[in-house]
Structure 1
Amino acid sequence: MLTHLQIRNLAVVRNLDTDFSAGMTAITGETGAGKSIALDALGLCLGDRADADLVRAGQSKAEVIAEFELTPTSPALQWLEQQELSDENHPHTCIIRRTITQEGRSRAWINGAVATVTQLRELAPFLVNIHGQHEHQLLNRAEYQQRILDAYAGHSQLLQQVTEHYQHWRKLHQQQKQWQQQQEEFAARRELLEYQVQELDEFGLSEGEFEQLDHEFKRAANTAGLKEDAEFALNVLFEVEHNSAHGLVQAALSRLENQLDNDPQLADTVKLLSDAKVQIDEACRDLRHYYDNLDVDPATLAQIEQRVSQAVKLAKKHQVEAAMLPQKHQQLSEELAQLSATESDLSALEQSIQQANQAYRQAAAELSKSRQQAAAKLAKAITASMQQLSMPHGQFAIEVEHHAQQPATAMGTDTIQFLVSANPGQPLQALAKTASGGELSRISLAIQVITANQLTTPTLMFDEVDVGVSGATAATVGKLLRQLGQQAQVICVTHLPQVAACAHQQLQVAKVTDGRSTETSMIALTEAERVLEIARLLGGDKVTESAKANAAELLAHSD
């Protein structure tokens, strides 16, 4: 709720500091004293247009500061946290400051951080609802009318279902749209993949095959050198008649064996030479076998050479190492399978979209039915309240039109419109076209009282709510405002004593002039001062004892 308002050099106000309390506050004063200055100043904090003419004459700038106290569950607090504008030291406080210079420049701050006018306007509905002839009235807006009806109906679960079905349908629709946009690209990619996979299928290189082919090719290509070196090794190891490795080891072994009886320490050496002789024998047998089988069929060599060359060519085409072709083959095959699956899933996606749309339309129809039922009850209650508020022939209706085939939205497919007829014989017409400022304020008052338990705006300000009202109707207005003050903070500008007497707190606005300048002030009244002010409202400038007695009686009956 609004706890403090500070105004500096705004219009006829030089310096004004006012505290506000919970419940109902009445602002009274003589005609032309500037009773609406608080509402105008607060409007600036809520994003109203800043005009250089608002700066007090002779001053360089005007300043307005509004301080609000927020509850832990306040939507305003959630908005501040989302915008990173909350005050860590005072998390349940929101301070809005706005300045206007003589040149018409305007600046704004929220909790000390620079803010835009757009942000002020976004935050405004969570803090204050000003009812009067102001450009930011909510009641004429279709979305606010829908909000009122939905809050009164209390069908949050139906709203949530519609929103969830809408989000699901929209997600599927976006998937379909994305696929359709990529269809040509997918087709070209699929054609390329089919060619590449077929080519690799026909080549059929298996895992590890290239390494084996490469080995066989190198062996076959170097057969002559391999045979020459194998033959040389056989000769030096065994074949030559003298001085072969085998002969020399055998000679050394024989001589040392003959000396074992003379020195047994030679036994280890003899064993090593004996093992070496065996190793040379085995190496020679292997070399003879290797040499005898070393010849390669030229046709086989040509086949190997061709396959290796083709593997290298394909690897270059796919920009991988030849040994990685099998993995590349598998990767391309999997991508082709995925594209094929995407195509086959398109029909399934279209079917899912149809099912999601059907579920959404059904949920939207159920929501519309609930709205229509609530609209009849709410319209009846508002009509009755209007007739109590000096609109004896007033009629109120809420039109809910369901458009089953209209484009889907998260809030359903209904068109909701508030209709009113203020006079006999006048047809029901849109609220914005028919109701005057005073009528709109009283209709809004009726709506606020009826829906007070559902709506969450913490502060309600009424201007001209009692225009054209007097007598018993004025008392009704006062009682309704006081009743509303039990649910929310109510600030009301009034000239009716019956309304002012119902307030929990009363502020008096006065205008003082010295002939050269004019200044407006606003002070909180004591109980004694309230009697005098209400007596003035009852009897005019001359306050009689009778008027004071009547004022005291009004105050006594307000509790």
Structure 2
Amino acid sequence: MLIRLAIRDVVLIEALDLDFSSGLGALTGETGAGKSILLDSLGLALGARADSGLVRHGAPQAVVTASFDAGDDAAIAALLAENGLEGEPGEPLIVRRIVKADGGSRASINDQPVSAALLREVGGRLVEIHGQHDDRGLLNARGHRALLDAFGRFDLTSVAQAHARWRAAEAALETARADLETAERDREWLEHAVGELAALAPEPGEEEALASERSAMQKGARLAEDLSGVTAHLDGSDGALAGLRQAARRLDRIAHEHEALATALAALDRAVIEASEAEDALTAAGRAMAFDPERLDRIETRLFDLRGLARKHRVQPEELPALTEELSGRLARMAAGSEGLAALEKAVATARKAYETEAAALSEARAEAALRLDKAVAAELAPLKLDAARFRTAIERRPEAQWGAEGRDRVEFLISTNPGAPFAPLVKIASGGELSRFILALKVALAEAAGARTMIFDEIDRGVGGAVASAIGERLARLADKAQLLVVTHSPQVAARAARQLLIAKSHDGIVTRTGVRLLDEAERREEIARMLSGAEVTDEARAQAGKLLAA
């Protein structure tokens, strides 16, 4: 909802700050007072083309700032988040446009610079502006399907999910076909590679274990002479360990004769124990680093084969077991390729049928909703002096290449303005006044459907009066129960329906002409509506009639 509009130096507007509220607001004033300037200013803030001609004469730049309450609009929140423009919860959304007199322009959202294209996209979600030359909004056929779905309250989740499953099945089939074609081209190489790997039969962790064993053997070969010498000093009847044990036995016989002998015996016992441990450790080291030339030769041959095959396939040696499994799997799938493809083709057919079932049900529901929408719009045409016109929601099936998550249908709103005339797109055959009233009829019929929270109708009542103007005012007021509405009007019947009325007027101080806008109180509203009824000279009868319109 539009909360505030601040305009600086736009054409005849020097400085203007306007506050807005919910419901129906009317903007009135004499022809040429500047109502179009106000709408052009708002359009500029919403991303319209920047025209340096909008800059007030003598001013360096024009600035328009609009503040909105976006509420819990998920689409706007997602669009802002996608572009890194998240605002604070509960804070207004502020859009700003600056146009310089030399033609340059800048745009921002929440004081962060953005492109004019993004400003236009956000602005389109915030405000719908419907005028006699409008070619967007309801007149854009690309949005008609979404409007019909919103009118019918359709949940497209099941169709979207069925479409996703169908496309996923097709992708799996295409991948399998490509893999099979590649595999067939590489069959000879694949068979040779699998045979070579199977013959070598690499095992997980094998290369690391063999390398470690070879390293230990190589160390053993270098240390064999030293180990043998150390062992010779300890082992045998003449070795150090035998001498220690013999000395301990002889000392044991006399240790009781003196305290020092007992101490010496204890030390010898400890020495025997530690020397025995050293002997055991040397034996273990010798076994671990035992040098077996034949075993070493086998290890080096195996390592050479493993590393050579790894280089050939451009992998690490430890990856050879996984490569064996992968290539064997490809060869197996090739052998069972036709059978696998048949299963995938069946899955695609099943998924397609499920999607078509969901899409057909949606198409049927859309056809029923289209009849209801046509009837609802038809009911609004006669009161709006369009009783000769006919409205039709056309639904046609799109080519299969265009089927999507939203179904198979193309939807477009068509009209025939005269009996016997063919149906055609609304924008192509309706005149200015008819176009605005058709838009109003559609909006009333689609009142519950999704749309912007703020709608602006520019002179929708041009060329009509009396009962038709009253019908327009009644429908605008009805729409205002669902969204914020602003209407630029010359019709007293429409203005009287508004909850608030803003008067747009020019003033001249002898040098500069300015456009101003002010909120009217009840007495001023009655006087303005009386002027709209009677023209230049406001009569008592016009004031009385204005009072009746306001009271009604």
Residues 1:148 and 2:115 aligned together:
no
**TM-score, normalized by length of structure 2?**
0.82
Going from structure 1 to structure 2, the CA distance change for 1:37 and 1:266 (only over 3 Å counts) comes to same
How many aligned residue pairs are there? 530
* CA distance in 2: counterparts of 1:250 and 1:69, whole angstroms: 100
Residue in 2 aligned with 1:432? Answer: 427
Residue in 1 aligned with 2:9? Answer: 9
The 8 Å contact of residues 45 and 98 in structure 1, kept in 2 or not, is answered as yes
Residue in 1 aligned with 2:298? Answer: 307
In structure 2, give the amino acid aligned to 1:128.
V
The 8 Å contact of residues 437 and 464 in structure 1, kept in 2 or not, is answered as no
| Cα offset, 1:147, TM superposition | 1.8
Cα deviation per residue 1:254-311 (whole Å; 9 max; x = unaligned)?
97798789889979959979x98xx99xx9xxx9xx9xxx999xxxx77x56633431
* CA distance in 1: counterparts of 2:93 and 2:494, whole angstroms: 30
In structure 2, give the amino acid aligned to 1:130.
I
* CA distance in 2: counterparts of 1:362 and 1:458, whole angstroms: 35
Residue in 2 aligned with 1:331? Answer: 322
| Cα offset, 1:388, TM superposition | 1.4
Paired residue secondary structure (2:460): coil
Residue in 2 aligned with 1:553? Answer: 548
Greater Rg by CA? 1
The 8 Å contact of residues 361 and 404 in structure 1, kept in 2 or not, is answered as no
Going from structure 1 to structure 2, the CA distance change for 1:143 and 1:383 (only over 3 Å counts) comes to same
| Cα offset, 1:392, TM superposition | 1.7
* CA distance in 2: counterparts of 1:409 and 1:480, whole angstroms: 36
* CA distance in 2: counterparts of 1:20 and 1:53, whole angstroms: 27
| Cα offset, 1:71, TM superposition | 2.2
Q: 517, 521, 525: which one pairs with 2:520?
A: 525
The 8 Å contact of residues 47 and 120 in structure 1, kept in 2 or not, is answered as yes
In structure 2, give the amino acid aligned to 1:40.
D
Residue in 1 aligned with 2:468? Answer: 473
In structure 1, give the amino acid aligned to 2:425.
A
Going from structure 1 to structure 2, the CA distance change for 1:306 and 1:499 (only over 3 Å counts) comes to same
The 8 Å contact of residues 244 and 268 in structure 2, kept in 1 or not, is answered as no
Q: 494, 498, 504: which one pairs with 1:499?
A: 494
Going from structure 1 to structure 2, the CA distance change for 1:315 and 1:516 (only over 3 Å counts) comes to same
The 8 Å contact of residues 132 and 462 in structure 1, kept in 2 or not, is answered as yes
Residue in 1 aligned with 2:195? Answer: 198
Residue in 2 aligned with 1:421? Answer: 416
Residue in 2 aligned with 1:44? Answer: 44
The 8 Å contact of residues 383 and 471 in structure 2, kept in 1 or not, is answered as yes
| Cα offset, 1:541, TM superposition | 0.6
* CA distance in 2: counterparts of 1:80 and 1:250, whole angstroms: 90
Residues 1:449 and 2:425 aligned together:
no
| Cα offset, 1:203, TM superposition | 3.7
* CA distance in 2: counterparts of 1:264 and 1:532, whole angstroms: 134
| Cα offset, 1:384, TM superposition | 2.1
Residue in 1 aligned with 2:159? Answer: 162
The 8 Å contact of residues 234 and 242 in structure 2, kept in 1 or not, is answered as no
The 8 Å contact of residues 190 and 331 in structure 2, kept in 1 or not, is answered as no
Going from structure 1 to structure 2, the CA distance change for 1:375 and 1:213 (only over 3 Å counts) comes to same
Gapped runs of 5+ residues in structure 2? none
| Cα offset, 1:535, TM superposition | 1.3
Paired residue secondary structure (2:400): coil
Gapped runs of 5+ residues in structure 1? none
* CA distance in 2: counterparts of 1:64 and 1:549, whole angstroms: 39
The 8 Å contact of residues 232 and 239 in structure 2, kept in 1 or not, is answered as no
Residues 1:63 and 2:58 aligned together:
no
Cα deviation per residue 1:100-140 (whole Å; 9 max; x = unaligned)?
11111111121222222112122123211111145562112
| Cα offset, 1:50, TM superposition | 0.8
Cα deviation per residue 1:65-104 (whole Å; 9 max; x = unaligned)?
112223235643454344443442x634112111111111
The 8 Å contact of residues 504 and 518 in structure 2, kept in 1 or not, is answered as yes
Residue in 1 aligned with 2:378? Answer: 383
The 8 Å contact of residues 151 and 449 in structure 2, kept in 1 or not, is answered as yes
The 8 Å contact of residues 393 and 423 in structure 1, kept in 2 or not, is answered as yes
Cα deviation per residue 1:410-468 (whole Å; 9 max; x = unaligned)?
22221111110112332111112112232221111112122222324211100131122
The 8 Å contact of residues 2 and 20 in structure 1, kept in 2 or not, is answered as yes
Paired residue secondary structure (2:370): helix
* CA distance in 2: counterparts of 1:261 and 1:59, whole angstroms: 122
* CA distance in 2: counterparts of 1:325 and 1:111, whole angstroms: 54
| Cα offset, 1:517, TM superposition | 4.0
Amino-acid identity (%): 36
Going from structure 1 to structure 2, the CA distance change for 1:191 and 1:34 (only over 3 Å counts) comes to farther
Paired residue secondary structure (1:139): helix
Residues 1:512 and 2:510 aligned together:
no
Residue in 2 aligned with 1:126? Answer: 125
In structure 2, give the amino acid aligned to 1:132.
G
